[in-house]
Amino acid sequence: MRIHLTSVFVDDQAEALRFYTEILGFVKKYDVPLGEKDRWLTVVSPEDPRGTELLLEPAAHPAAKTYRDALVEDGIPLAQFAVQDVRAEYERLRALGVRFVQEPLEMGAVTTAVLDDTCGNLIQIATQPQ
């Protein structure tokens, strides 16, 4: 068994696609229209294009707003992405205008930072212990 797909609720799929591809560096994998405005829209890491997909899911369901708002209010990231060097990625993303709610923080063998994805979510970037 392996994780094939996970999702983040987003306010605007077009804006989310721009942020997740142009800023974070993911690549679009699927973009399938679903009705008038929604899409089955996934991105993947360019390092593993056949790996886990991230679905940029419309946050239309009322529970999605309550859930996301509660996580943001408590400062809890919705997802975590692995990076080689948190400090370097933090500097790269800040130079692109990304807002961080937590600067790089060392916690033993792991370093993390938390960013605002502009789509209603907090996302943590982290090094993986060697």
pLDDT, position 128: 78
Tens digit of pLDDT for each residue in 40-93?
Answer: 999 999 999 999 999 999 999 999 999 999 999 999 999 999 999 999 999 999
Q: Give the domain range for residue 101.
A: 5-126
Point out the least confidently predicted range of 15-19, 31-35, 98-102.
Answer: 31-35
Q: Domain tally for the chain?
A: 1
Tell whether pTM > 0.95.
Answer: no
- Per DSSP bridges, beta strands 110-116 and 100-107 are antiparallel
pLDDT, position 36: 85
Q: Which sign does the torsion angle of CA 81, 72, 62, 33 carry?
A: negative
CATH code of the domain in which 91 resides: 3.10.180.10
